[in-house]
Structure 1
Amino acid sequence: MRSRPLRLLGAGSLLLTLAFSLESCFTERQNEGAQLYAAHCSSCHGDQGQGLERLIPPVAAADYIAQHRAELPCLVRKGMQGDIVVNGIHYNQIMPGHEDLTDSQITNLLNFLQTNWGNTNQSYTIRETSELLGHCNGSDGQ
C-alpha cells in the first residue's frame, strides 16, 4: 500500500521536472525571432523596422509582408533584387540572402515580423516555411 503513493509521488516529480525542462527549452527560443532580426536585418531595415527613407523598405506596418506571404521565406533565404512596392513606394535595392539560417530560424524571424510593429498577420509553421522554401530549393529540413 505504501509503495503506490511513493510511485505516484515519484511520477509527479518526474512530470514536474519534465515540465520545467520543456519550459526552459521553449523559453530559450522564445525571443529568437527578435534576436535574428537584430543580427541579420536591423542594420538595413532599422531597429524598429522603419526602413531607410526611400532606399530600403520598412518591414513595420508593411503591406508587402501581408501581400507576399508565400514568397517571404525564399526572400529571406535567397535575397532579392529588382523593383518592389511597399506601402505605395517603389524600392530597388539588392537584399542579400541568409543561407546560414535554418528553416526554423527563418520561421521564427518571419513570425517576429508578422506580429510586431503594426503587422498583424498569421504566423508560419515550420512545415509551411519548409514547403515554401522548397519552391526556391532553399529548404534545409531543419
Structure 2
Amino acid sequence: MKLKLIGTLILLVGVIVTSCQSDQEMEFNRYYTAGSLVYQQHCQNCHGDKGQGLQSLIPPLTDSTYLKNNKAKLACIVKNGLEGKVTINGRLFDDQMQGDDLTPLEIAKVLTYISNSYGNKLGTMNLEQVQSDLKNCK
C-alpha cells in the first residue's frame, strides 16, 4: 500500500511539473526531442554520435561560437550543403558537405537539437525562423 501511495505521489508530481512548463519550454522540448531523431537518421553518420566530427575531414558541431555567429545560415547549410573552407574550434576544414532533403520543420528540429547539444546553448530554432532563413539562401 505504501509503495502505491509513493508511486501515485511521484506520478502526480510529474504531471504537475509537466503542466507547469511554459509554451516556450514545451515547444523547445518537442523540437529538441524530435531533432535528436532527425540527427541520428541524417547527421550522426558523418558528425558522430557526440557531434565530434571526423578528424580533419568533417567538422565537429561543438563550436557554439561558429553556430551563434552563423545562426541565420545554418538552415541553408543543412538544406544546401557547404563547400569551401570553414574554421571550427580553431581548426580549418576544407571539404564538401552534401545538402539534405529535409523539410523546413525537420531542419528546425535538428538545428534546435544541434544548437543545444554538445556544449551549445542557443535556444529553439522554430519553423518560422527556418522558413525565413531558407528564403535568404545564396
TM-score normalised by length of structure 1: 0.72
- TM superposition shift of 1:37: 0.6
1:29-68 alignment, distance < 5 Å: 31-68=33-70
1:89 is displaced (CA, Å) by 0.7
Is the partner of 1:133 in helix, strand or coil? Answer: helix
Instruction: Identify the residue that residue 9 of structure 1 maps to in structure 2.
Output: none
Shift of 1:133: 0.3
Note the residue ranges of structure 2 that are not aligned, 5 or more in a row: 1-26
Q: Show CA shifts across 1:20-43 (max 9, x none).
A: xxxxxx898762101111111111
Gaps of 5+ in 1: 1-25, 138-142
Q: Residue deviations 1:20-77, cap 9 Å, x none?
A: xxxxxx8987621011111111111111100111111100244311111010000000
Q: Secondary structure at the residue paired with 2:114?
A: helix
Identity %, equivalent residues: 32
Matched ranges for 1:1-142 at <5 A: 31-99=33-101, 101-136=102-137
CA contact (8 A) 1:79 1:97 kept: yes
Larger RCO (CA under 8 A, 6+ residues apart):
2
In 2 relative to 1, CA 30–64 (structure 1 residues): closer, same or farther, beyond 3 Å? closer
SS at match of 1:31: helix
Q: What amino acid does structure 1 have at the position aligned with 2:132?
A: E
1:30 and 1:123 map into 2 onto residues whose CA distance is 8
CA RMSD of aligned residues (A): 2.1
The total of aligned residue pairs comes to 112
Partners of 2:117 and 2:32 lie apart in 1 by 14
- Specify whether residues 28 and 116 from structure 1 end up closer, same or farther in structure 2 by C-alpha distance, changes over 3 A only: closer
> Which residue is equivalent to 2:23?
none
Task: Say which SS state the counterpart of residue 120 (structure 1) adopts.
Answer: coil
